[in-house]
Structure formats: structure tokens, C-alpha cells
Chain A
Amino acid sequence: MLDDTDRRILRQMQADPGASSAQIAERAGLTSATCWRRIERMQAAGIIRGVRAVINWHALGYEVEVSLRIILDKTQPRAFEDFADAARKIPEVLEIQTLLGQVDVRIALIARDLAHYHEIYRTRILTLPHVTDIDALMHVARVKYNNTVPL
């Protein structure tokens, strides 16, 4: 479905998502019109979902980031749905992933500080439905974070 030219455009867009389509065209060695047509086609096909702003939560005063890894009570037929419906309502939850392995679900949670985290944990997390076990990984440092793939 994608040819080498499409991949070249995507590589340039991944490397610099803030670049204008004229800049992308130049770096990919294409005319603006060709480049724009291909980008539009990939958007229409749903391959390019969009360009999102990255929000730095530290700069907004959220100092703590935790991965909570959760084991659910799978004897409950709606365990995953009920859990996700409730977790989605917690504003500080940034990501919910369902997994196959030692744990069933992971949620990424941010908090202003440890006291704030403790409060969210006690009042919102421990009350989530169908939870059998929770373990927490505290994020110390982000070494790599680019979400790119080798195209």
C-alpha cells in the first residue's frame, strides 16, 4: 500500500513533526504538490491520524509519574470494561493499556507530589472495580521518548 516515497515522507514527518509541509517536501526531495497529495492520501486512509501537541506535565506542576500494573478478577465477565470505565473518569490517568502477560492492565498516572499521589491512590485507585492486585513502578527519568518506528 505504501511505497518508498510515502515512507520517505513519513520518516521526515516523524523526525520533525513541527515542520511545514513545504519543509517536508523539500527534505523528501519532492514538489510541494506531490508531497501534499500523498500526505492527504495517508490522512484519508487513516495511516496519519494527526499531529498532537505534547504537554509537559512537569511544567504544569505534576512531579510524580507512576505506572500502576493491575491484576483483575477474571471470574467477573465484565472485569475489563468496568475497570476501564471507572479508570477513564480519573482525570490524572493518562494511559490505559490492556496486556497479555503477568499483569492484565497498566495505567499511567500523574500527580503533583507524593501526598497528592497518595490521596488519588487511596480515594480513586483502591476503589476501582474488580482489582485483585496492584503494583506500582515510580518513574525516575525518561531516557528515550519519541514514539517513532523504523520505517
Chain B
Amino acid sequence: MIALDETDRALLRALAEDATQGSGALGRRLGLSQPATWRRIKRLEEAGILAGRRLDLDLGALGFGVTVFLGIKLGTKGRVSLEDFERAVSAIPEVQTVEHILGVYDYRLRVTARDIPDFERVLRRRIMTLPGVGSVDANVMLSEERLPGPI
């Protein structure tokens, strides 16, 4: 693990906000030369700290009005292959994230749908028919806030 100084942290904060900024523009903001900024970004990438980019879309404006968190418990443990379940659930396009967890559930999913009838279709036709699914709990998301984290 590499040590970060204040400038690295400022770079991470700026890129987490807008990853399309070039090293020239970023350097000017942080009082660094373009090559020095580029070297720092390269170092953060090589250390695996900068791990790609994600497109931030307004899902509501695109017609995806419903996001639901599902807690899934597998039934008849030992007879279900986790690999089969994970492969099948990951292939569902409406499923955004799949996390294997420890707690009252086995898996936690984030599902996006156009509206409640569309969510019901995904739930009945795709989720409930997955191999090994025991019980499913749902929480509908009302609002979401993402924070920068400890940098």
C-alpha cells in the first residue's frame, strides 16, 4: 500500500467528482505542473486506488423510476451451487449490484426497474426463478446520497 499526501487526496477528490479532467487542468487547480500531475495519477492507477470510471446517469430521467434492494436467502444450503446462483443473477440486466454478505441474508441485490409493474415482472420472472432462492425481502429506495468517503 502506498502512502498518500494531501495533494494525492485532493487529486482523488477532484477525479471522483469529474474523471474527464485532463492532467493539465487538474494541475492548474492544484498548483502542480502537467507532468507532475500525470505522474501522480499514473501512480494512483498503478497502486489500484483509481480503479476505472463510472458513468453517472440520472436514472429517473431515463425512465428508470424504481430502485429496490433485495435481501435473498438461499434455500436448502449445500444442495445449491453458489456459482450457479451468482452466474444466473449477474446475467439479469436489471440487477445492478450483487453482494455476497454475512448477516440475515446471503446476498444483497440492487435492482432498477421502470416502474412497480416492471419491477414485479423482474421479481417474478427473473429473481424468483433463480436456482436455489429461498426467501426474498424487499426495500424500495426513496432517496440516495453518495458521499466522497475518507479521502
Contact = CB atoms under 8 A, between A and B. Distances in A.
Interface of A: 1-2, 10, 13-14, 17-18, 45-62, 67, 84, 88, 91-103, 106, 110, 135-151
Contacts of A1: 61
13 contacts: A17-B54, A18-B53, A52-B17, A55-B51, A67-B101, A92-B149, A96-B144, A97-B69, A137-B71, A141-B100, A146-B54, A148-B55, A149-B64
B15 A53 contact: yes
B90 A144 contact: yes
Interface residues of B, number: 60
Interface string B1-32: 10010000000100111111000000000000
Contacts of A102: 137, 139
Contacts, number: 201
A59 B108 contact: no
A91 B101 contact: no
B137 A143 contact: no
Among B107, B142, B151: residue with most chain A CB under 10 A: B142
A135 B12 CA distance: 31
Contact of A59 (B47, B90, B96, B97): B47
Contact of B50 (A14, A53, A110): A53
A7 B141 CA distance: 25
A55 B55 contact: no
Contact of B56 (A49, A67, A135): A49
A84 B145 contact: yes
B139 A101 contact: yes
A139 B107 CA distance: 9
Interface string B35-59: 0000000000001111111111111
A111 to B, nearest CB: 9
Contacts of B145: 84, 88, 95-97
Given A48-B55, A49-B57, A91-B149, A55 B62 contact: no
Contacts of A141: 99-100
A101 B55 contact: no
A135 B86 CA distance: 24
B56 A51 contact: yes
Contacts of A136: 103
B102 A138 contact: yes
A17 B89 contact: no
Contact of A50 (B18, B52, B64): B18
B93 interface: yes
Contact of B100 (A17, A46, A92, A143): A143
